Amino acid sequence: MDKDAIRQAVWDDLEASGEARFPFPPHDRIPNFAGADGAANRLQETDAWTEAETIKANPDAPQLPVRRAALRAGKTLYMAVPRLREAQCFLELDPDVIEDIDHATTVGGSAEVGIPIGPETMPDIDLIVSGSVAVDPDGGRIGKGEGYSDLEFAILRAFGCVDESTPVATTVHERQVRESVPSDAHDVPLDLVVTPDRTIETRSTRAKPAGIDWDALDEETIAEIPILERLEST
């Protein structure tokens, strides 16, 4: 099965099984799922979480418990500006100054209280949490198809904020774990797959992308993302 077919199968399965959670339908998004809180709790038991002081997380609904847990644990949280459309394409959420964590960790709340920051002034990121549609036990990951998660990693790597050793985790429902999913060269492999029931240390042998795969980007995409225009011209 190709990526699109796997996405459709996972979305359909979560909906038919009743395991999908708001927002509905689960299709065409990083699907929320029953047990997302439990998966977030299990992630907090890992060494990667315990040792992290800075976390970059996706903005989707199933990882909301992860983002809230990060701030409550005193970790600095970074989220990308939607579609990377600003020159300062990340938002910094500092637990020392955030008053309403529940609000700040929503998409709208992060836009209100997050401090815009460019990757050139960001610290090293200790842990990345990505949203997924489908994953496999060897670290393969399929997102919703727009490629922003992988692009955000590539941008951070271009500025030295992440490297090969930076752990990448996801929280998913068991039904999202497939025997195998296809991967492309620009896809970022997962080190941890966490479900409400288990933690999989993938021990992936695939290298993380060393930087931006310019061949995978068209000129329209580059023109819409200021940080890419800037990097392309250097």
Alpha-carbon gap, residue 92 to 94, rounded angstroms: 6
How do the domains of the chain map onto residue ranges? 34-232
What is the model's pLDDT at position 63? 98
Determine how β-strand 127-130 pairs with β-strand 168-171.
Answer: parallel
Give SS3 for 116: strand
Fold of 34-232: Rossmann fold (3.40.50)
Q: Dump the DSSP string for 120-143.
A: GG----SEEEE--SEE-TTS-EE-
Q: 59: which 2 tokens?
A: 């903005």
Residue type, 62: P
**Closest C-alpha among 141, 138, 159 to residue 150:** 141
Distances (CA, A) of 190 to 105, 136, 172, 232: 23, 9, 12, 27
CA–CA separation, 197 vs 66, rounded Å?
Answer: 16
pLDDT of residue 65: 98
The whole-number pLDDT of residue 203 equals 87
User: Taking the model in full, what pTM does it have?
Assistant: 0.96
Residue 132 is predicted with a pLDDT of 98
Closest CA to 135 of 39, 56, 231: 39
pLDDT in tens, the chain (234 residues): 999 999 999 999 999 999 999 999 999 999 999 999 999 999 999 999 999 999 999 999 999 999 999 999 999 999 999 999 999 999 999 999 999 999 999 999 999 999 999 999 999 999 999 999 999 999 999 999 999 999 999 999 999 999 999 999 999 999 999 999 999 989 999 999 999 999 999 989 999 999 999 998 999 999 999 999 999 887
Are 191 and 166 a contacting pair, CB within 8 Å? Answer: no
Crossing angle of helices 64-72 and 36-43, in 10° steps, is 40
**pLDDT value at residue 234:** 77
